[in-house]
Amino acid sequence: MPDRAAAALSLVRMMQASHTVTLDQLPDLIAEHAAEACLYDTALFVVDLRETVLRRLARTGGQAATGDQVFTVRGSLPGQAFQRVDLLAEPAPGGASGGRRRWWAAVTDGVERLGVLRADTDVEEETVRDILRDLASMTALLLLSKRSFSDAYAQMVRTETMNVAAEMQWNLTPPNAYAGHDVTLAAVMEPAYQIGGDAFDYAVNGTTLHLGIFDAMGHDTTAGITANVAVSACRNARRQGASLAQTSEEVEKVLLEQFSTSRYVTAILADLDMASGRLRWINRGHHLPILIRDNRWTTELECPPAGPMGADLALPVTVRTEQLQPGDRLLLYTDGVVEARDSRGREFGRERFVDFIRRHHAGRHALHETLRRLMAAVLDHHDGLLNDDATVLLAEWRGGHQEELTP
């Protein structure tokens, strides 16, 4: 009967051993430590960028695997474990009780959903399931620590060829979901492999959540470069203590230096004080943020536009303030979401957009899952093809969902 304390020690040893292993040696490392806790035939599956498939990370020198190399996120049990950030068991063969069961554990660091971990065990105790959760958590951390310099990982999480602008963007963005004490956040950007010009950013600094959504003019590689420069300049200024208005002015300075006035970026920059719920924002020529309250009442958060950054319009930057209530949701988005048109020229529209968020409220799905479904609806409306980038960032304050990214 595996012992929780012994399993914990085993995890520490695994962590120590991990310092010198490469990403493709990770499955073997996991298998070795899993066996100590009566968990066998382990396999690690990573999810692709658009969270449609789970692909197995092969063990070095292992036998050629059989059919279970890939699972779709929708319509499979491992996929369900992934979507619901849960630990699920396959039904016992023949309905018999006892004997070996196969378990699927979501692999997440509490912020990003990375994949699932498979493990078989004869032991029916809750302890073993707890041990499996711990193993999955450790696996998440190890995966994160090794993937940034792994081309193999990058290839594994792609289902299409990526263009250079998108390559830049994926390197730039923070994780597409965040759950902390007072805030849960999710973001989706499409078309994932051909993004050119849209960007989002967020960062937590003490009790402040910094948010930003950006839309660079054009759809080419230069638009990607422009967005990259804008986000980097924004972070740079912010990290030097600049206020919202000052940050946007610094970004404009850099853009003017680099592009003269031939390229600009529209944006909403916001700061949320997570302790008090006080939200401050500025508008650089972008669609206004939307506030959803009680899942019923929605409003645009007004703010006079100070012109796009890089357009050099010399307009004053106005900072607006709003006091949020617990459960409030903030939506930042780019025009590609609402302006996607169907074959008859009808826009997806802001009403449909907001309505969708309201109907698929986080009670049933994680925020990120909601956005995934929204984006699928937007793409569907446009017959699967977007001619502009579409990005959505959704943040919820004190909605009581901060545990949703922990299995």
Partner 1 sequence: MSTVPPAPDDDPDDAPIAVEVRGLATDRTLVTVKGQLDLHTAHRLGDALEPLLLADRQVLVDLSAVTFLDSTGLTALIHAHRTSRTTDARLALIAPSPPVRQMLHLTGVDRVVNTYPSLDAVPHRA
Residues that bind partner 1 (CB under 8 A): 197, 215-218, 261-262, 264, 266, 283, 285-287, 304-308, 311-315, 334-335, 339, 341, 343-345, 347, 387-388
Q: How far is the CB of 331 from partner 1 (least distance, A)?
A: 16
Q: Is 74 helix (H, G, I), strand (E, B) or coil?
A: coil
Question: Residue 267: beta bridge partners?
Answer: 214, 284
**Closer to partner 1 by Cβ: residue 1 or 314:** 314
- Least distance between partner 1 and beta carbon 80 (Å): 37
Contacts of 334 (CB under 8 A, 6+ apart): 198, 213, 215, 286, 287, 388, 389, 390, 391, 392
Q: How far apart are the first and last CA of the chain?
A: 23
Task: State which residue, 212 or 308, has the beta carbon closest to partner 1.
Answer: 308
Rounded Cα distance, 336 and 215, in Å: 10
Residue 220 tokens, joined? 């080419």
At position 136, the amino acid (one-letter code) is A
Which of 69/262 has CB closer to partner 1?
A: 262
Pick the closer one to partner 1 by CB: 36 or 335. Answer: 335
**Cα 356 from Cα 389, distance rounded (Å):** 19
* Run of H or E residues at 298: strand 297-300
Task: Tell me if 180 sits within 8 A of 301, measured CB to CB.
Answer: no
Count of residues making up the chain: 407
Place of tokens 């971990």: 117
- Which residue number, 217 or 229, has a Cβ lying nearer to partner 1? 217
CB of 264 vs partner 1, minimal distance in Å: 7
Q: Nearest approach, Cβ of 319 to partner 1 (angstroms)?
A: 15
Q: Whose Cβ is closer to partner 1: residue 39's or residue 254's?
A: 254
CB of 311 to partner 1, least distance (A): 5
What's the min distance (Å) between Cβ of 306 and partner 1?
Answer: 6
- Comparison of 132 and 254: residue with beta carbon closer to partner 1: 254
Which is closer to partner 1, CB of 249 or CB of 339? Answer: 339
Any idea what the Cα angle at residue 191 is, between residues 190 and 195, rounded to 5°? Answer: 95
| H or E stretch at 142 | helix 126-147
Q: CB-wise, 287 or 368, nearer to partner 1?
A: 287
Helix (H, G, I), strand (E, B) or coil at 185: strand
What whole-number distance in Å separates Cα of residue 49 and Cα of residue 112?
11
Spatial distance between the Cα atoms of 404 and 365, rounded to a whole number of angstroms: 9
Shortest CB 388 distance to partner 1, Å: 6
Q: What angle do CA 223, 226, 228 make, to 5 degrees?
A: 110
Min dist. Cβ of residue 242 to partner 1 (A): 21
Query: Do 378 and 337 touch, CB atoms closer than 8 A?
Result: yes
Q: How far is the CB of 375 from partner 1 (least distance, A)?
A: 18
Neighbours of 124 (CB within 10 A): 13
Rounded least distance, CB 218 to partner 1, Å: 6
**Tokens 């569907």 label which residue?**
380
Residues paired with residue 203 on neighbouring β-strands, in sequence order: 210
Between residues 307 and 399, which has the closer beta carbon with respect to partner 1? 307
Coil, helix or strand at residue 332 = strand
Minimum gap (Å) between residue 193 Cβ and partner 1: 20
Closer CB to partner 1, 55 or 287, in the complex: 287
